[in-house]
Amino acid sequence: GEDVEQSLFLSVREGDSSVINCTYTDSSSTYLYWYKQEPGAGLQLLTYIFSNMDMKQDQRLTVLLNKKDKHLSLRIADTQTGDSAIYFCAENHRGGYQKVTFGTGTKLQVIP
Protein backbone atom coordinates (compact mmCIF):
# COMPACT_ATOMS: atom_id res chain seq x y z
CA GLY A 1 0.00 0.00 0.00
CA GLU A 2 0.94 3.64 -0.11
CA ASP A 3 2.41 5.22 3.05
CA VAL A 4 2.56 8.95 3.61
CA GLU A 5 5.06 9.73 6.37
CA GLN A 6 5.36 12.78 8.61
CA SER A 7 7.36 13.53 11.71
CA LEU A 8 5.22 13.16 14.83
CA PHE A 9 5.82 16.42 16.66
CA LEU A 10 7.06 19.98 16.11
CA SER A 11 7.43 22.69 18.71
CA VAL A 12 8.02 26.36 17.79
CA ARG A 13 7.88 29.72 19.52
CA GLU A 14 5.12 32.17 18.70
CA GLY A 15 6.20 34.47 15.87
CA ASP A 16 8.69 32.00 14.40
CA SER A 17 8.17 30.05 11.18
CA SER A 18 7.08 26.41 11.26
CA VAL A 19 8.00 23.88 8.61
CA ILE A 20 6.11 20.60 8.49
CA ASN A 21 7.45 17.90 6.19
CA CYS A 22 5.80 15.01 4.41
CA THR A 23 7.11 12.15 2.28
CA TYR A 24 4.70 10.40 -0.03
CA THR A 25 5.09 7.33 -2.23
CA ASP A 26 2.52 7.50 -5.04
CA SER A 27 4.21 9.27 -7.95
CA SER A 28 0.90 9.28 -9.86
CA SER A 29 -0.77 11.62 -7.36
CA THR A 30 -2.24 14.63 -9.12
CA TYR A 31 -3.04 16.72 -6.05
CA LEU A 32 -1.43 16.97 -2.63
CA TYR A 33 -3.16 18.60 0.30
CA TRP A 34 -2.59 19.99 3.76
CA TYR A 35 -5.31 19.63 6.37
CA LYS A 36 -5.48 20.97 9.94
CA GLN A 37 -7.28 19.21 12.80
CA GLU A 38 -7.89 20.92 16.12
CA PRO A 39 -8.70 18.82 19.21
CA GLY A 40 -12.13 17.21 19.06
CA ALA A 41 -12.86 18.63 15.61
CA GLY A 42 -13.01 17.53 12.00
CA LEU A 43 -10.38 18.31 9.40
CA GLN A 44 -10.06 21.69 7.71
CA LEU A 45 -8.49 21.93 4.26
CA LEU A 46 -5.75 24.58 4.40
CA THR A 47 -4.39 24.42 0.88
CA TYR A 48 -3.54 22.07 -1.97
CA ILE A 49 -1.01 21.95 -4.77
CA PHE A 50 -1.27 20.47 -8.24
CA SER A 51 1.49 18.01 -9.02
CA ASN A 52 2.93 20.06 -11.90
CA MET A 53 3.66 22.98 -9.56
CA ASP A 54 6.63 23.25 -7.25
CA MET A 55 5.42 26.05 -5.01
CA LYS A 56 2.18 27.65 -3.90
CA GLN A 57 1.79 30.60 -1.53
CA ASP A 58 -1.41 31.53 0.27
CA GLN A 59 -1.08 34.31 2.86
CA ARG A 60 1.02 32.86 5.72
CA LEU A 61 1.21 29.42 4.12
CA THR A 62 3.81 28.28 1.60
CA VAL A 63 3.73 24.80 0.09
CA LEU A 64 6.81 23.35 -1.57
CA LEU A 65 6.69 20.22 -3.69
CA ASN A 66 9.71 18.20 -4.81
CA LYS A 67 8.34 15.52 -7.12
CA LYS A 68 11.71 13.90 -7.72
CA ASP A 69 12.12 13.19 -3.99
CA LYS A 70 8.33 12.85 -3.36
CA HIS A 71 8.66 15.47 -0.64
CA LEU A 72 6.03 18.01 0.36
CA SER A 73 6.39 20.73 2.96
CA LEU A 74 4.17 23.34 4.59
CA ARG A 75 5.70 26.52 5.94
CA ILE A 76 3.63 28.66 8.29
CA ALA A 77 5.03 32.17 8.69
CA ASP A 78 4.59 34.12 11.96
CA THR A 79 3.18 31.08 13.77
CA GLN A 80 0.45 31.91 16.29
CA THR A 81 -0.93 29.95 19.26
CA GLY A 82 -4.11 29.37 17.21
CA ASP A 83 -1.99 27.36 14.79
CA SER A 84 -1.49 24.64 17.43
CA ALA A 85 -3.13 21.54 15.96
CA ILE A 86 -2.37 18.32 14.11
CA TYR A 87 -1.45 18.81 10.46
CA PHE A 88 -2.03 16.07 7.90
CA CYS A 89 -0.63 15.97 4.42
CA ALA A 90 -2.63 13.90 1.95
CA GLU A 91 -2.41 12.68 -1.62
CA ASN A 92 -5.04 11.59 -4.07
CA HIS A 93 -4.66 8.58 -6.34
CA ARG A 94 -4.85 8.43 -10.11
CA GLY A 95 -6.82 5.19 -9.91
CA GLY A 96 -9.62 6.90 -8.03
CA TYR A 97 -9.53 10.64 -7.79
CA GLN A 98 -11.88 10.66 -4.83
CA LYS A 99 -9.57 8.40 -2.84
CA VAL A 100 -7.25 10.35 -0.60
CA THR A 101 -4.60 8.85 1.68
CA PHE A 102 -3.65 10.90 4.71
CA GLY A 103 -0.20 11.12 6.25
CA THR A 104 0.52 10.07 9.80
CA GLY A 105 0.05 13.61 11.12
CA THR A 106 2.34 16.16 12.79
CA LYS A 107 1.34 17.73 16.08
CA LEU A 108 2.38 21.38 16.09
CA GLN A 109 2.83 22.99 19.50
CA VAL A 110 3.23 26.77 19.58
CA ILE A 111 4.87 28.12 22.71
CA PRO A 112 3.78 31.66 23.70
Partner 1 sequence: DTEVTQTPKHLVMGMTNKKSLKCEQHMGHRAMYWYKQKAKKPPELMFVYSYEKLSINESVPSRFSPECPNSSLLNLHLHALQPEDSALYLCASSQEGTGIPYEQYFGPGTRLTVT
Vertex 16, ends 50 and 66: CA angle to 5°?
A: 25
The backbone torsions φ and ψ at residue 81, rounded to the nearest 5 degrees and listed phi first, read -60, -30
Asked if 9 touches partner 1 (CB under 8 A), the answer is: no
Asked if 44 touches partner 1 (CB under 8 A), the answer is: yes
Give the integer Cα–Cα distance in Å for 80 and 103: 23
Asked if 112 touches partner 1 (CB under 8 A), the answer is: no
Which of residues 7, 48, 67, 73 is near partner 1 by CB under 8 A? 48
CA torsion through residues 49, 54, 77, 83, sign: positive
Asked if 99 touches partner 1 (CB under 8 A), the answer is: yes
Which of residues 39, 42, 82, 112 is near partner 1 by CB under 8 A? 42
| Of 100, 11, 31, 17, the residue nearest 72 (C-alpha) | 31
Asked if 103 touches partner 1 (CB under 8 A), the answer is: yes
| Binding residues vs partner 1 (CB under 8 A) | 31, 33, 40-45, 48, 50, 88, 92, 96-105
